[in-house]
Amino acid sequence: MAENSIGPYSIVRLIKQGGQGSVYLGYDGRLRRKVAIKIDALPESRAARRRALAEARKAARINSPHVVQIYDLVESGGYLAIVMEYVPGVDLEEVLTHRRLSLSSILAVAAEVSAALAASRQRRIVHGDLKAANVLIARSGDIKLTDFGIARHCADAGPATAGSPGAITPEHVDGSSLDVRSDLFALGALLFRMLTGEHAFFRHGKTDTAALLEVDRSQLWAQMPGQEAVPGDLLPLVESLLQTDPADRPQNTHPVRSQLRALQRSLPLHAANSLQDEASPYYRPESPEDIPLEIPRPLCEKGRSRLEYSAGSRLLRYLSGLRMFTRITLAAVFLFTSVALVAVATHERPVRVHFEAPQIVFASRDGVPGDINREWLMRNVQAAVGGELGAMQVSGSVHPRAYYASLADKEPEYVINTGLRCSAVLCVFSISRENAGQFDFRQAVISPGLPETAWTTLVEHNSRALFP
């Protein structure tokens, strides 16, 4: 096998090299797609290796647009190659090295990172090394978080050094177990850095562990920008995230995401989508010259995938060993069962949907049809969403049309946020959907002089577009 390959993946060039491993641009010839391949040295002990592989497999199950997808794991000779989705663009560390971000971009980064943490929490995964270098900015301006819980399991390190400088939390220092509140602390430290340009607990070239454990944060708060420079609710949020005691921090990602989304909505419309413009000068070139590669020889010669076979693969291997009559009998049973399952599956299942109170601002009602108000907006949004989802049990700022006792105590599958802002010259309708850690958003500009039927069409079209 050629030495510029790892298993079935060809190595194209080096993307980044650091103390916690090297990242290469690779190519999967079977699926004809680019991949990123990170190579980590595995721990010496077998137990630690098993933990590292188990954590990597768990991370591979996270499915979120805000998380870099893991495709494969290749292990051999004390090394682990993590084959991931390739994200053209730049990491946040590179951008922050060159410039300060605008408030709009800071909030965009924090909101999407919090969405990534929400997705990982559903899989009971703690990142444990949340830092700017692990936040990727795609060429589209989207944010993706990478390296979930893997680097710290691949390092033979004690609690105080198991995280990267700038990502260490009080729990790293005192040896406490990490949970989602630890990741939220690291998010607070990242927000602090983006707002001030300085690491929160970095002194004289190293992490100040004593400062991390201090209860009095007054010196830290003194470095924060004044209330006139940032929205009033942002500074208290950062302070709550950076509390020493995990019990004093937000206990999950939901309130943090809600506050960040609300802060985003409070900004002027012209400030939106600034991150792509600010990061684009630092995007990686996509066609540099190849450089010498130093791939560990055991991975080249003996590397094999360590992802578990899927249930389908195991079943096919089992069936291939059976006699023809047995296979025909099993096929008939499978067909009968499939028909029954399809009949059950096609029975409509109600969906739990929560509609947040709409954010409506009329700086002027000139030209706005008289029936356009909060009730009109939510009635049309509810009808459009119901047209896509079918039977719904709703809560929040809408009137329920049906009640399903089985869903009464369940968390909503979808959370819908709506807004309508009108000035003298235009109105802007916005609607967003949150579902299982994923977020989607639509926006439409409406001329106040249009008839109510045109308003209805635009609201319904954009509401339905959230459910492709």
278 and 102 Cβ atoms separated by less than 8 Å:
yes
Q: Domain residue spans in the chain?
A: 5-282, 311-345, 351-464
Q: Name the burial class of residue 30, with classes exposed (0-12), middle (13-18) and buried (19+) by CB atoms within 10 angstroms of its CB.
A: exposed
In percent, the amount of the chain with pLDDT more than 90 equals 28
Is the predicted pLDDT of residue 236 greater than 50, yes or no? yes
Predicted confidence (pLDDT) per residue in 58-104, tens digit: 888 888 899 999 999 998 878 889 999 999 999 999 999 999 999 99
Q: Which of 417, 436, 437, 419 is nearest to 428 (CA)?
A: 419
* pLDDT value at residue 287: 60
* pLDDT value at residue 176: 85
Is the predicted pLDDT of residue 302 greater than 80, yes or no? no
Is the predicted pLDDT of residue 267 greater than 60, yes or no? yes
Tokens of 85: 């989705």
- Provide the 8-state DSSP code for 204: T
Q: Mean per-residue pLDDT for 118-147?
A: 90
* pLDDT value at residue 468: 74
User: What's the length of the chain?
Assistant: 468
52 and 45 Cβ atoms separated by less than 8 Å:
no
User: How many CB atoms are located within 10 Å of the residue 214 CB?
Assistant: 14
For residue 439, CA distances in Å to 111, 142, 184, 219, 246 come to 10, 12, 19, 36, 27
| CATH code for the domain defined by 351-464 | 3.40.50
Q: Which fold has domain 5-282?
A: Transferase(Phosphotransferase); domain 1 (1.10.510)
Distance, CA of 244 to CA of 224 (rounded, Å): 17
* pLDDT value at residue 320: 62
* pLDDT value at residue 161: 42
Q: What pTM, to 2 d.p., does this model score?
A: 0.62
Distance, CA of 178 to CA of 186 (rounded, Å): 11
Is the predicted pLDDT of residue 297 greater than 80, yes or no? no
Q: Mean per-residue pLDDT for 191-214?
A: 85
Tokens of 316: 């096919």
Is the predicted pLDDT of residue 262 greater than 60, yes or no? yes
Distance, CA of 132 to CA of 431 (rounded, Å): 29
Of the chain, the end-to-end C-alpha distance in Å amounts to: 44
Tokens of 366: 């000139």
How many CA atoms are closer than 13 Å to the CA of 399, on its beta-carbon side?
Answer: 7
Best mean pLDDT range from 78-87, 215-224, 304-313, 325-334: 78-87
Tokens of 365: 């009602």
Predicted confidence (pLDDT) per residue in 101-123, tens digit: 999 999 999 999 999 999 988 88
